A = this chain, B = another copy of it.
Amino acid sequence: MPSYTAPTRDTQFVLHDVLSVSTSDTPGYAELDAEFTSAVLEEAGKISSEVLSPLNPVGDTEGCVLENGVVRTPTGFKAAFDELRNGGWTALDLPEEYGGQNMPYVLGTAVGEMFSASNQAFTMYHGLTHGAASAILAHGTEAQKTTYLPRMANCDWTGTMNLTEPHCGTDLGLMRTKAEPQDDGSFKVTGQKIFISAGEHDMAENIIHLVLAKIPGGPEGIKGVSLFIVPKFNVNDDGSLGNRNAVTCGKIEEKMGIHGNSTCVMNYDGATGYLLGEEHKGMRAMFTMMNEARIGVGMQGLAQADVAYQNAVAYAKDRLQGRAVTGDENPDGPADPLIVHPDIRRSLLDQKSFVEGARAFLLWGAQLIDQSHRGNDEAAEGLISLMTPVIKGFLTDEGYDMTVLAQQVYGGHGYIEEWGMSQFTRDARIAMIYEGANGVQALDLVGRKLAQDGGKHVMAFFEMVKTFIKENEGNEALKADFLDPLKEASKHLQASAMYFMQNGMKNPNAALAGSYDFMHLFGHVCLGLMWARMGKAAYAALEDGAADEMFYKTKLATGRFYMKRRLPATSMHLARIESGADLVMELDAEQF
């Protein structure tokens, strides 16, 4: 059975050596000293390794079962959910007045990575609840907040997001679900929603569905979509549970992975719903959930890559097969461990350098969200808005590829289910799809975010990279190993953006045909920047005579690998982008 060790040491490094969270002036960050974050991370790591990780294969094997409208979650899920609930882990960053712990988002994200790595299907139950609670927090009336949030904070009630319908996923303007106004101010919601994660299950007293629907007579298409709160059980005025609402789970899907999470077809049959936010402004309200959810999904990509990597390393050290080409390294044994072989190391370093770079990128993103929300920092808001599709798209694509690499280290044992490596790959696959398929992320990035506010945010990004390089060029080792490759990669990103500017105006396809490559190019530059920042921090720690010398030396070696071995991908992406639209648009549909 695979195991999971929480990356507490590495997370601490990112939080304190790189992001300097406790000395930042973001409100609430002062309490994030190393001792405090360490205590939280250690405890979260313990639950992840000891409670959630052993349940991961159980969830995969048993899956969820629908019987007579009731969904049974896998053995042990309910007890583990209670443990999380009782430990106060389900609402770290919600406000205290609504039952949360008011911790910065950055710490909630670091903890979320651990939960997600140890059991993605399980963690989705409270992850989605958190997203739904955030939307109510941002758009709900005071009564709605008081009614729902405290119960959602401790997951006595869980939450869902209902967007997709059978005929529309990305293009929500085609939506058919209706919400008809009633005399008492409520609505009757009717329609079918599909792919609803945690739509029905047996771990909570109530389930609060957030449902997109159209109010008849409203504007056509996406502009006529509103958001509704539809509880599974109606809630009485005193907060107690009333009668069952007209919402039922019609089916749970057979999926490639995340079997432990119930993916439901939800049927709304005149269910009572309550408008959340303004009429016809449903998409705006939903995006509160979506942006957070997208960063959470990027986190899942990293998380599955890390747990898969950890198990690949363990196997590579343990499995004896072949001999090192430079001479036996285990002369008393029948063969050397796999880890002596250069190509196994190449694979493991691709994984390790991604995981650590991605973790820094993700936590930096979370810090920007805190700066934006808690500090009202508009520059931070612009930057994270720009980078959200990169975090989602790049980290999930790469994260998936890393699980495939990790699985490969096991040879045939990676393909059979017994060793658990297949599950990491199957579970990681969904992250490239949900919360907006990665092609849609690329479209959002190039079609929308890049030119937002006159291109101000991407210019700020380039400026930040340039400034970082300039300020640190005096460090010669850093310059040669980190800054020079970063400068080169950043040039490729700028050349791509320039190409889009020069060609996209007269032919938007010239930009969109390169959108996917741009998203990956951007991702590599972000990881390159994070590695440069980590490199700087590691050199500084070594100069300061840090006790944990080996940690910092390993960090530098891993970073050098990323800069030399992964960053060269940027020139390939640039070449693909500069090949333009014609090659992509030339064929008629019937020529495919």
Q: Which residues of A contact B (CB under 8 A)?
A: 164, 167-171, 173-174, 194-195, 253-257, 263, 313, 316-317, 320-322, 325-326, 334-335, 337, 339, 341-349, 352, 400, 404, 407-408, 411-412, 414-418, 422, 425-426, 429-430, 432-434, 437-439, 442-443, 447, 507-509, 512-513, 515-516, 550, 553-554, 557-558, 560-561, 564-565, 568-569, 571-572, 575-576, 579, 581, 583-587, 589, 591-592
Contacts and interface: CB of A to CB of B under 8 A. Distances in A.
A411 B568 contact: no
Contacts of A417: 253-256
B418 A433 contact: no
A425 B256 contact: yes
Number of copies: 2
Contacts of A411: 169-170, 433, 437
Contact of A170 (B321, B346, B575): B321
A326 B426 contact: no
Nearest to A340: B589
Nearest to A581: B342
Contact of A568 (B412, B425, B550, B575): B575
Contacts of A320: 167, 171, 174
B439 A415 contact: no
B412 A432 contact: no
Contacts of A422: 255-256
Contacts of A554: 587, 591
Contacts of A553: 591
B557 A343 contact: no
Contacts of A346: 513, 516, 584
B408 A512 contact: no
A560 B589 contact: no
Most B C-beta atoms less than 10 A away, residue of A345, A426, A512: A345
Contact of A513 (B256, B343, B412, B508): B343
27 contacts: A168-B321, A169-B321, A170-B411, A174-B334, A194-B412, A255-B415, A317-B589, A339-B589, A341-B439, A341-B443, A341-B512, A342-B512, A342-B513, A342-B515, A342-B581, A342-B585, A343-B512, A345-B585, A347-B439, A408-B439, A414-B433, A415-B429, A415-B433, A425-B429, A553-B591, A557-B583, A568-B571
Most B C-beta atoms less than 10 A away, residue of A170, A255, A343, A565: A343
Given A339-B592, A342-B585, 20 more contacts: A169-B321, A169-B411, A170-B321, A170-B322, A174-B334, A253-B418, A254-B417, A255-B422, A256-B415, A256-B425, A342-B512, A342-B515, A349-B584, A349-B587, A352-B592, A407-B429, A557-B587, A560-B583, A564-B583, A568-B576
